[in-house]
Chain A
Amino acid sequence: MHLTEQTQHLFLGILAVLIVASGAGWLLKRRAVTRPGLGPVVENLVTRVNAWWVMAALLAATLALGFHATVIVFGLISFFALREFVTATPTAAADHRALFWSFFVILPAQYFLVWIQWYGLFSIFIPVYAFIFIPIRLTLAGEYKDFLERTARLQWGLMVCVFFISHLPMMLTLHIPGFEGRSAQLLLFLILVVQSSDVLQYIWGKLLGRRKVAPVLSPSKTWEGLVGGVLSASLLGLALTGFTPFRWWQAFGLALLATLLGFFGGLVMSAIKRDRGLKDWGHMIKGHGGMLDRIDSLCFSAPLFFHFVRNWWT
């Protein structure tokens, strides 16, 4: 599979945005020399933009290599995310075998189901089979202390890091009449809208942010940032209508849904992080934190976007 002409155009657009962002970073860096105190902020901004270059290039390469490469790459993303999730949550010695199963059997099996495009089992494998398997395996370890908490943590980790994320490559298997061979554009649409919503919320928040939306869970999120970011990212979704099988108002509506869910996904993951006393999930992506810090907004939006499209367009 090669990138469709429209996908190439989308990536050219991303390239243009990144060039502008890097240019702005370069200008700010020159100004920061004369204004002490601005240095670290700009330094961090430049690091973040550099990481975006790498992530955009990896995404382009992955999609260009086709469906199976995409499955493998998102499988790895799930693996890194689950690794960060389990590292950050307390587990007992008795959880060891169940954890081993989660990393090396359940996770690969879920992506195998994507690979062979077995939608029926794909959609219930973790919520039903893994959900039942985990507590059974834990009873075999013979430890009852915090049993429900330990089971729930592991089930949650599998749902968020593996099940939800596996809906992203599964999007390539959707057959929409009149949109054959272009399903990768759906994936790109979702990622673009949700990730730019994150960036736009940050920018609007920095420019106008006053009132905190969730002061306890996530002090940096403001109403101004939320509304501005979600609306502008949804307008971006509308602007991308031509790359999708949707009409303009549908593209806007789906983008709005995805960005709102993205916001709450980020908030939920932030609540877990704060409870564990952590600032970041990990250190994989320079300037951003861990893998989960980058994909938290996709966790919740991916499955719903997938099912909306699957129900009404295929």
Chain B
Amino acid sequence: MKTTVTQFLVAGTVKVITGIRAVWHGCPPAGARPRVYFANHGSHLDFVALWAALDTPQRLRTRPVAARDFWNAAGIRRWIACSVFRALLINRTKATREDNPLHDMRAVLAGGESLILFPEGTRTLTGETADFKAGLYHLAKAAPEAEFVPVFLENLNRILPKGEMLPIPLLTTVVFGTPLSLQPLEARDAYLARARDAVLGLRHWHRAPEVSADSP
């Protein structure tokens, strides 16, 4: 209960600061199956923004995947990750039989909850999007029952760039694309490239036909 209230307050605050606008471009806000939202990564605010852009019932059942080495540090960081966002902390280094991130992620999806994932693995400095790591492919293979939704996060690397402490209040758009499914026999690199293109393709979603809005 306490977590729900905190989550509600945090989502509200983030929405006011960043004026978040969710654009459901390729899928409805709610789906019957658990989802894996995967997005470009340029800022610590990324998962907060994506999470806050979801409708409340979905948000309560969606957990961000975060690096254990960074977020499990003592103090406020850990509290934020675990108590506010119920983050699924995973091992970024080599997976072992007892500590395999894939296993944890599958368990969450099997429990009917959704995940937020950043397949680049880390934030980029330039705002460019790096190649996707193989984890997304393995998860897509291991959890075919889930919907894999590409998401493009606009401006967040400008709001809080890597290395900065204080955010500036710019407007954010979170664009949700059409779910992407792994084709039978699709190779790992082909799938990862397709997934990356799906995210970056959403960059131009608003280049719609020109309509003038100069009227009052």
Say if A and B assemble together.
yes
Which residue on chain A has the smallest CB distance to residue B211?
Answer: A279
Q: State whether B170 touches A83 (Cβ < 8 A).
A: yes
Query: CB-CB < 8 A to A284: which residues of B?
Result: 19
Which of chain A's residues 161-184 have a Cβ closer than 8 Å to chain B? none
Q: State whether B212 touches A96 (Cβ < 8 A).
A: no
Q: State whether B171 touches A293 (Cβ < 8 A).
A: no
How long is the Cα–Cα vector from A148 to B18 in the complex, in angstroms? Answer: 28
Which of chain B's residues 154-190 have a Cβ closer than 8 Å to chain A? 155, 157-158, 161, 164, 166, 168-171
Q: State whether A93 touches B216 (Cβ < 8 A).
A: no
Query: CB-CB < 8 A to B125: which residues of A?
Result: 93
Chain B interface helix/strand/loop/mixed: loop
Among candidates A87, A99, A220, residue contacting B214 with C-beta atoms closer than 8 Å:
A220
Is B207 an interface residue when CB atoms closer than 8 A count as contact? yes
Query: CB-CB < 8 A to A283: which residues of B?
Result: 19, 21
Given the interface pairs A83-B19, A96-B164, A277-B207, the reply to whether A218 lies near B212 with Cβ below 8 Å is: yes
Q: State whether A84 touches B171 (Cβ < 8 A).
A: yes
Q: State whether B171 touches A282 (Cβ < 8 A).
A: yes
Q: State whether A48 touches B213 (Cβ < 8 A).
A: no
Segment with Cβ contacts to B, from A109-117, A195-203, A242-250, A305-313: A195-203
Is A37 an interface residue when CB atoms closer than 8 A count as contact? no
Q: State whether B215 touches A202 (Cβ < 8 A).
A: yes
Q: Report how many residues on chain B are interfacial, defined by Cβ distance under 8 Å.
A: 23
Query: CB-CB < 8 A to B126: which residues of A?
Result: 93
Among candidates B155, B168, B213, residue contacting A100 with C-beta atoms closer than 8 Å:
B168
Is B98 an interface residue when CB atoms closer than 8 A count as contact? no
Query: CB-CB < 8 A to A219: which residues of B?
Result: 212
Among candidates B19, B164, B169, B210, residue contacting A282 with C-beta atoms closer than 8 Å:
B19
Query: CB-CB < 8 A to A108: which residues of B?
Result: none
Contact mask A273-284 → B, CB, 8 Å, 1/0?
000010110111
Q: Report how many residues on chain A are interfacial, defined by Cβ distance under 8 Å.
A: 33
Q: State whether A220 touches B158 (Cβ < 8 A).
A: no
Q: State whether B211 touches A87 (Cβ < 8 A).
A: no
Q: State whether B170 touches A86 (Cβ < 8 A).
A: yes
Q: State whether A202 touches B212 (Cβ < 8 A).
A: no
Contact mask A183-225 → B, CB, 8 Å, 1/0?
0000000000001001101100000000000000011110000
Q: State whether B212 touches A288 (Cβ < 8 A).
A: no
Residue from B19, B207, B210, B213 with most neighbouring chain A CB atoms (10 Å): B213
Q: State whether A83 touches B171 (Cβ < 8 A).
A: yes
B26 smallest CB distance to A (angstroms): 20
Q: State whether A87 touches B161 (Cβ < 8 A).
A: no
How long is the Cα–Cα vector from A245 to B125 in the complex, in angstroms? Answer: 57
How long is the Cα–Cα vector from A218 to B169 in the complex, in angstroms? Answer: 29
Q: State whether A100 touches B166 (Cβ < 8 A).
A: yes
Contact mask A45-74 → B, CB, 8 Å, 1/0?
000100000000000000000000000000
Query: CB-CB < 8 A to A84: which residues of B?
Result: 171
Contact mask A250-287 → B, CB, 8 Å, 1/0?
00000000000000001000100000010110111000
How long is the Cα–Cα vector from A293 to B158 in the complex, in angstroms? Answer: 23
Which residue on chain A has the smallest CB distance to residue B164?
Answer: A96
How long is the Cα–Cα vector from A288 to B213 in the complex, in angstroms? Answer: 8
Is A103 an interface residue when CB atoms closer than 8 A count as contact? yes
Is A91 an interface residue when CB atoms closer than 8 A count as contact? yes
Query: CB-CB < 8 A to B19: which residues of A?
Result: 83, 282-284
Among candidates A86, A279, A289, A294, residue contacting B210 with C-beta atoms closer than 8 Å:
A279
Q: State whether B166 touches A87 (Cβ < 8 A).
A: no
How long is the Cα–Cα vector from A194 to B170 in the complex, in angstroms? Answer: 28
Query: CB-CB < 8 A to A221: which residues of B?
Result: 214
Q: State whether B216 touches A199 (Cβ < 8 A).
A: yes
Q: State whether A96 touches B214 (Cβ < 8 A).
A: no
Query: CB-CB < 8 A to B157: which residues of A?
Result: 93
Query: CB-CB < 8 A to B210: which residues of A?
Result: 279
Which of chain A's residues 95-152 have a Cβ closer than 8 Å to chain B? 96, 99-100, 103
Query: CB-CB < 8 A to A87: which residues of B?
Result: 155, 170-171
How long is the Cα–Cα vector from A199 to B155 in the complex, in angstroms? Answer: 33
How long is the Cα–Cα vector from A289 to B211 in the complex, in angstroms? Answer: 12
A156 smallest CB distance to B (angstroms): 17
Which residue on chain B has the smallest CB distance to residue A214?
Answer: B214
Contact mask B15-42 → A, CB, 8 Å, 1/0?
0000101000000000000000000000
A-B contacts, 23 of them at CB < 8 A, read A48-B215, A83-B19, A84-B171, A87-B171, A93-B126, A93-B127, A93-B158, A96-B164, A96-B168, A103-B168, A195-B216, A199-B216, A202-B215, A220-B212, A220-B215, A221-B214, A266-B214, A279-B211, A280-B213, A282-B171, A288-B213, A289-B213, A294-B216
Known: A93-B161, A201-B216; 5 extra A-B contacts, CB below 8 A, are A99-B168, A100-B166, A202-B216, A266-B214, A289-B213
Q: Which 3 A-B pairs have the closest CB atoms?
A: A198-B216, A220-B212, A87-B171
